[in-house]
Chains A and B, each alone.
Chain A
């Protein structure tokens, strides 16, 4: 449904997106994950035809975004970071206006508006001024706006920002519901979001794709590693020992230098080895436990270079 190849976007000297390629199949929900400023929004804007890339190509439903922008735009519903709402319009009038802009006519307009209001759960506020709505409701109006012409492709830039927890769950449910009939790309820097609603995750950092897999695949990738949390009273010798020990993948120390997060190769005796090191160096053990590896860790690992992390 969406094919992106060799996409690069430069803002002057700054490269926002650097030679990325990926494709999204019909009916798939893809989570676009990355820290702020990673190039998520830029990529999305390029897919919607809002912005032209410096080089590379994007096709949506077989149409090239730059040769056939109108055909592509007819098939895309886009929710930007800031919902593009007019504060001086009623919710219903606004959605009607959007429907007409997207090329719907006559009966289709009313049908589209009714459906979008129902899906985004805006029934109670449909005759209110958008300017008088709370941030959460405005966000929902933004989502309704993206749905109004029943597009094949939905591009949602941080769809759950500003919503309360109940609404977040509702919107995630709605996004899941859309899978199958619609192809969805959603961006977020909130991790539970992608685990909750996406089938596939693309992690982007500094304009480059650093990982692309399913959630299970990404977790598996990390499962050859075990992580331990160790807190000791006298860290000096212990730290030296860790540097020389075999099977240690990484060590992260915290501010007070007493706590360590140690990653080891997953072997039978890895627990034992570490425990032995603590005892041997006379570090004075305070705490020792094994840690789960979550998506957060994968994310941080892929997107940050922490100065405290010492690769061994």
Chain B
């Protein structure tokens, strides 16, 4: 496990020693701020209208601001994370530095764990900037803190799933563009897999496809629900793709 931490630390540092992490973070924050501001001003004008029509504003900040906001974050992560993770194995293979890892006293498991951990830490660092929105909103509006916190937990887990998929895709090739695209498609597939439930007969089949969908589980988190089955679902996806990556890395010996 110690060697996984050594690799994670090196990878994490390398994101920040170049421009990558800074560019991604600043553009991500710019984009999220713009989107958040649009949601917030739409909410403000609509609730003002409702108040003028006589009733007191019954619109909840949680439902009309934070839920769509975190939905947006989710979509942007879907596009952004493969770009961050695509280099993790592909670049090592292309630059032949994989030779170093493969001839060092490390297990394939610790190499993969280190890579996934590094990716998660980078994404979580970037996500930390999102705390700015609820904190600044809390200065002038009342809302329920619970769902916001569970949304963050959900985002943390979900981004780890994306990282794990991204690392897996990266292990398959030495071409970063292929790595990006494979990761993106796998992620997107887990988004839309739930659509199949509409065309299924019977509650069991519908339930299975709903359970497999990444989005269904995330909706629970943004409503303030921590469902054990959702947590288990995300963790098992992370482990599943981690396991596949470990197999790919180990199989390099046998080619």
Contact = CB atoms under 8 A, between A and B. Distances in A.
Interface of A: 11, 48-52, 69-71, 73-74, 76, 78, 80-82, 84-89, 97-98, 100-103, 145
A103 B96 CA distance: 21
B23 to A, nearest CB: 15
Given A73-B105, A74-B105, A101 B97 contact: no
B101 interface: yes
Interface in B95-116: 95-107
B14 A49 contact: no
12 contacts: A48-B103, A50-B253, A70-B105, A70-B106, A70-B107, A80-B99, A88-B14, A97-B6, A97-B10, A98-B104, A102-B104, A102-B105
B3 interface: yes
Contacts of A70: 105-107
Give 6 nearest A-B pairs by CB, closest first: A84-B100, A73-B105, A82-B96, A101-B104, A80-B99, A84-B97
B254 interface: yes
A98 B253 CA distance: 21
B6 A100 contact: yes
A73 B97 contact: no
A126 B99 CA distance: 22
A80 B7 CA distance: 20
A88 B106 contact: no
B100 A101 contact: yes
Interface string B1-24: 001001100100010011000000
Contacts of B254: 52
B146 to A, nearest CB: 42
B253 A52 contact: yes
Given A86-B14, A86-B95, A87-B95, A50 B102 contact: yes
Contact of B103 (A49, A97, A103): A49
Contacts of A102: 104-105
Contact of A51 (B14, B101, B107, B253): B253
Contacts of A69: 105
B253 A101 contact: no
A50 B103 contact: yes
Contacts of B95: 82, 84-87
Contacts of A71: 105
**Interface residues of B: mostly helix, strand, loop or mixed?**
helix
Contacts of A50: 99, 102-103, 253
A78 B98 CA distance: 12
Contacts of A80: 96, 99, 103
B103 A98 contact: no
Given A52-B253, A97-B10, A100-B6, A73 B104 contact: yes
Nearest to A155: B103
Contact of B96 (A49, A84, A88): A84
Given A52-B254, A100-B6, A86 B105 contact: no
**Interface residues of A: mostly helix, strand, loop or mixed?**
loop
A299 B101 CA distance: 34
A86 B103 contact: no
Contacts of A145: 100
A85 B6 CA distance: 16
Interface string B24-42: 0000000000000000000
A64 to B, nearest CB: 14
Given A100-B3, A101-B101, 10 more contacts: A49-B102, A50-B102, A51-B253, A78-B99, A80-B103, A82-B95, A84-B100, A89-B14, A97-B10, A101-B7
B97 A86 contact: yes
Contacts of B103: 48-50, 73, 76, 78, 80
A82 B18 CA distance: 23
Contacts of B104: 73, 98, 101-102
Residue picked from A71, A86, A87, most chain B C-beta under 10 Å: A86
A120 B131 CA distance: 49
Interface in B182-197: none
Contacts of B17: 88-89
Contacts of A84: 95-100
A48 B106 CA distance: 13
A50 B101 CA distance: 9
Contacts of B3: 100-101, 103
A17 to B, nearest CB: 15
Nearest to A84: B100
A145 B99 CA distance: 12
Contacts of B101: 101
B18 A85 contact: no
A112 B138 CA distance: 53
B102 A101 contact: no
A157 B17 CA distance: 31
Nearest to B250: A52
Nearest to B20: A88
Contacts of A103: 3, 105
